[in-house]
Chains A and B, each alone.
Chain A
Amino acid sequence: MNITVIVINGIAIISLLIAFIKDRKKAMKSLKIAGKSFLKILPMALIIIIFIGLFLGFVSSRDISKFIGDQSGFTGMLLVGAAGAVIYIPSLLAFPLAASLLESGASISAVAAFITTLTMIGAITLPIEIKEMGKEIAFLRNGLSFVIAIIIALIMGAIL
């Protein structure tokens, strides 16, 4: 059990207690929503967890670091950045995946690029974004997001 787990669970329990003291009905409703969202994300979470196991069991660290490790440089980062822009994974589940990549030899910049494009750019949600926001803003936001994701990744690689 690490400190993060204790802090986050502590905050959750305290907020829940306050909620119950303030308004029992509303608190119960929150719990119901929490349970539902948990069930909703559970299968995807298990899929990602098994996928990570298979990935680390079958793909050698040598291969991973060859493609997206420190020596892969800029191309490796662009590659995972692009992958992150296209793939759709719930962002909460992207972090364990990113951690597994990092564990097995991916560079910090590659992982940072992956997470940033994954969360900021949505190829799947792009049609909705265009419909609601117009083509210009949608393309500008997604395009510039890719550029800043790469810049953020480069800086992260330099400072960490």
Chain B
Amino acid sequence: MKKSMLYDWALLCSILIISAILLSIFPDRKRTVIGVSSNFFIEMILILPAVMVMLGLFEVWVPKNIVVKYIGKASGMKGIFLSLILGALPTGPLYIAFPMAAALIRKGAKISNIVIFLSAWACIKIPQEMVELQFLGLHFMLSRLILTVAFVIIMGLLIEMIMKWRHFEKFNL
């Protein structure tokens, strides 16, 4: 983690140097570049700390095993709903969701719920929706959210059907 942070800061320094060079070669672009960057900086700094505070609160208050506990046995509409909600909780990057999902499969959870859980984790995260609202507006955020939820559910059911069809024996014991 320390190493990747160092890498990020080094990248930031180099992009700063590159932009300084570019702007000294093309001084007429200075106004646009600095204007645009400072606008985006202000929008970002107004919202990022709040999002981080909420992430921190969730991390401490919501136990990690809540996912395994609730999705493990749930099925039907309730299973779909729980998978969506638990996936959407602000609980870190996608790669930590895979081991959880694998554990769920071993425990016999439904494939559809696991796919829905993973996809919700990837793209319906609550902090993510907040930042989308800030930058792209209510209409864009809401319509994309509704469509994503609908299609993620369809995809989950579809993948479960395909898996059942391909491994008839395994899932119909």
The answer to whether A141 touches B119, judged by C-beta atoms less than 8 angstroms apart, is yes
* Interface residues in B25-82 (C-beta closer than 8 Å to A): 26, 29, 32-37, 40-41, 43-44, 46-57, 59-61
> Within the assembled complex, what's the spacing in Å between the Cα atoms of A26 and B59?
10
Q: Main secondary structure on chain A at its contact with chain B?
A: helix
Taken residue by residue from 31 to 60, chain A's Cβ proximity to chain B (1 for < 8 Å, 0 otherwise) reads as: 111110110110111110111111011100
Q: Which residues of B contact A19 (CB under 8 A)?
A: 57, 61
> Within the assembled complex, what's the spacing in Å between the Cα atoms of A141 and B56?
29
The answer to whether B158 touches A144, judged by C-beta atoms less than 8 angstroms apart, is yes
The answer to whether A133 touches B101, judged by C-beta atoms less than 8 angstroms apart, is yes
The answer to whether B159 touches A26, judged by C-beta atoms less than 8 angstroms apart, is no
Q: Main secondary structure on chain B at its contact with chain A?
A: helix
User: Is residue A145 within 8 Å, beta carbon to beta carbon, of the partner chain?
Assistant: yes
User: Is residue A119 within 8 Å, beta carbon to beta carbon, of the partner chain?
Assistant: yes
| Interchain nearest-CB distance for B13 vs A (Å) | 9
Option from B53, B98, B131, B152 in Cβ contact (under 8 Å) with A128 = B98
* Interface residues in A85-110 (C-beta closer than 8 Å to B): 91-92, 95-96, 98-100, 102, 108
The answer to whether B50 touches A12, judged by C-beta atoms less than 8 angstroms apart, is yes
Q: Which residues of B contact A119 (CB under 8 A)?
A: 122-123, 128
Q: Which residues of B contact A122 (CB under 8 A)?
A: 94, 122
Which residue, of A12, A15, A27, has the highest number of chain B Cβ atoms within 10 A? A12
> Within the assembled complex, what's the spacing in Å between the Cα atoms of A35 and B56?
8
> Within the assembled complex, what's the spacing in Å between the Cα atoms of A151 and B150?
11
The answer to whether B46 touches A1, judged by C-beta atoms less than 8 angstroms apart, is yes
Option from A52, A108, A160 in Cβ contact (under 8 Å) with B37 = A52
Q: A119-B128, A136-B163 are in contact. Are A45 and B44 (CB under 8 A)?
A: yes
Q: Which residues of B contact A160 (CB under 8 A)?
A: 139-140, 143
| Interchain nearest-CB distance for B18 vs A (Å) | 8
User: Is residue A75 within 8 Å, beta carbon to beta carbon, of the partner chain?
Assistant: no
> Within the assembled complex, what's the spacing in Å between the Cα atoms of A40 and B52?
11
Q: Which residues of A contact B143 (CB under 8 A)?
A: 155-156, 159-160
Q: Which residues of B contact A31 (CB under 8 A)?
A: 53, 56
User: Is residue A123 within 8 Å, beta carbon to beta carbon, of the partner chain?
Assistant: no
B residues with a Cβ closer than 8 A to A are: 1, 5, 8-9, 11-12, 15-16, 19, 22, 26, 29, 32-37, 40-41, 43-44, 46-57, 59-61, 94-95, 98-99, 101-102, 105, 111, 114-115, 118-119, 122-123, 125, 127-128, 130-136, 139-140, 143-144, 147-148, 151-152, 154-155, 158-159, 162-163, 166
